[in-house]
Amino acid sequence: MKTPISIKRGAVAAIFIDLQEEHRQDQRYLVHGYEKILANVQRLQAAARASGVPLYHWAYIVDLGAQDRPFHPVEADGKSAFSDKDDPLSAICHEVAPADGEALRIKAEASAFRSGPAAGELKARGIEWLVVAGVWTEACIDASVKDAVASGFRVLLVKDACGSGSAAMHQTAILNLANRLYGGAVTDTDGACRLLSGESVTAWQVEGSVPLRFTYENAARLYGEL
């Protein structure tokens, strides 16, 4: 259901996950509507910076020389088939790259919060809400959101600032997350920017367990109603 929400100043951080060039340039890993997603992320970042909200950036990087990945897909030269540490396309897209003073964190797994100090650092800063954007919705966004919720954060999932390989993949992934986004909310970029600036907005919040039962036929409509 949709309910009015607001976020206390000083208790929110903005999280940007895997917004890398390979999703724009590598034909195997293109994200559907990526340019629009990047434009929405730019708006989120500008709103966060204007309101003094801390920004955290992640990139997925594969280093097969240092990581144990027995079934990982590789190229003929033995390098990772995606996100290889030496591939220039693993760089964050320039228009959404960290600004001065904003750290870029490297992760070697889907979730930004499965390991490492990030969750503890955010807790120590008094952060309660995480505004989440990035790619791919059913993979790294899904894993990061679920681990964030398990760590006690409220997640504001910005649906049109996330994406995947197709609209259907993205929409069903958002619906799956919305069904289990306990303590959090789903909104669009407009709503998220207003919340970051201290306004109250009406956003979708889960009530009960798994209220959204979707099919091939109605998934796009339900997604649009979030």
List all residues 6 or more positions away from 82 whose beta carbon is below 8 Å from its beta carbon. Answer: 22, 26, 28, 29, 62, 73
| Sheet strands (E) in the chain | 2-5, 12-17, 55-60, 104-107, 129-135, 154-163, 185-187, 201-204
The residue among 206, 211, 203 whose CA lies nearest residue 159 is 203
Which of 93, 140, 162, 193 is flagged as catalytic? 140
Whether the bond between 136 and the residue before it is cis, its omega within 30 degrees of 0, is yes
Query: Which residues are paired to 12 by β-bridges?
Result: 129
C-alpha of 136 from chain center: 8
Alpha carbons within 13 angstroms on the beta-carbon side of residue 167 total: 8
Distance CA 126, CA 86 (A): 36
Quick check: is 140 catalytic?
Answer: yes
Q: Which residues are catalytic?
A: 140
